[in-house]
């Protein structure tokens, strides 16, 4: 069943069929049950080793038999795209249909080959804006359900609270669901929330961050999650990322949270 707001995404999907073709050509009249955007934090706290763990984790999840089973259980498979974000957000892998084990393996190979995007800051609001303005309008076919899977190890340190809320609301207004996968690193991000906003090129802003100290999980619940059936599943460090993502993909692709 299509969700609230999905009508807009269906229209955008038909338009997007003319504008983006990084994967195999897709017949315009078709549709899919799920379009999945994997959105990956690549800011300064994510060094080369952590970046590779994330890419390998995504690739392994796509190759996992349970995930492949969930994908092939959907008529026509799924649509998959990947966004990486730091100071700005990049469409690292445009929309591709995954409808078979071979499709999943081919997409996993592309994920593994993705170069690391340079960036210092954790600009979550920029990512929300890019997905709303660039990624979703390029859907090559309509999707009943659009899921944005956001992973990261820190809070936004670019955008003021009101603007972040506005960008979040604009993305939710498309009918998409935003799920969270915070990466919890003991001794690094146990407690978050204090400090000052710092945007690329602008230095420290006078407006302070909320001084309430909270956990990264709670921050994600407050500022990332949204939409029908939204949920959070944390990774216990980067070494746990692959396991957490495999479980998350099965839930998202099978729509078990509906």
Closest Cα partner for 127 from 149, 94, 98, 145? 149
Quick: pLDDT tens for 209-252: 444 567 899 999 999 999 999 999 999 999 999 999 999 999 99
- Mean pLDDT lowest for which of 10-24, 31-45, 104-118, 171-185? 10-24
Q: What is the CATH number of domain 40-254?
A: 3.40.50.410
CA–CA gap between residue 229 and residue 23 (Å, rounded): 28
DSSP state of 136: G
Residue 182 in this model has a pLDDT that exceeds 80: yes
Residue 75 has pLDDT above 80, yes or no: yes
* CA gap 128, 159 in Å, rounded: 11
For residue 247, what are the CA distances in angstroms to 97, 130, 166, 175?
20, 26, 30, 23
For the chain, the domains span: 40-254
Of the pLDDT bands very low, low, confident and very high (cuts 50, 70, 90), residue 31 is confident
């Amino acid at each position: 069943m299509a969700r609230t707001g999905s009508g807009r995404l269906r229209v955008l999907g038909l338009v997007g069929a003319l504008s983006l073709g990084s994967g195999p050509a897709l017949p315009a009249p078709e549709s899919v049950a799920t379009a999945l955007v994997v959105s990956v934090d690549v800011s300064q706290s994510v060094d080369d080793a952590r970046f590779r763990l994330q890419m390998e984790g995504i690739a392994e999840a796509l190759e996992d038999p349970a995930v492949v089973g969930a994908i092939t259980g959907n008529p026509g498979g799924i649509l998959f795209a990947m966004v990486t974000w730091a100071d700005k957000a990049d469409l690292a892998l445009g929309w591709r249909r995954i409808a078979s084990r071979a499709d999943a393996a081919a997409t996993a190979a592309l994920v593994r080959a993705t170069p690391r995007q340079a960036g210092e800051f954790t600009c979550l609001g920029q990512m929300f804006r890019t997905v709303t303005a660039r990624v979703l309008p390029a859907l090559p076919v309509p999707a009943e359900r659009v899921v944005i899977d956001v992973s990261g190890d820190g809070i936004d340190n670019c955008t003021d609270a009101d603007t972040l809320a506005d960008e979040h609301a604009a993305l939710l207004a498309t009918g998409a669901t935003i799920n969270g996968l915070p990466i919890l690193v003991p001794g690094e991000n146990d407690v978050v929330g204090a400090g000052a906003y710092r945007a690329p090129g602008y230095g420290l802003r006078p407006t302070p961050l909320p001084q309430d100290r909270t956990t990264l999980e709670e921050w994600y619940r407050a500022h990332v999650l949204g939409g029908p059936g939204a949920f959070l599943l944390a990774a216990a460090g980067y070494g746990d990322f692959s396991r957490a993502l495999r479980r998350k993909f099965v839930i998202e692709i099978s729509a078990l949270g509906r």
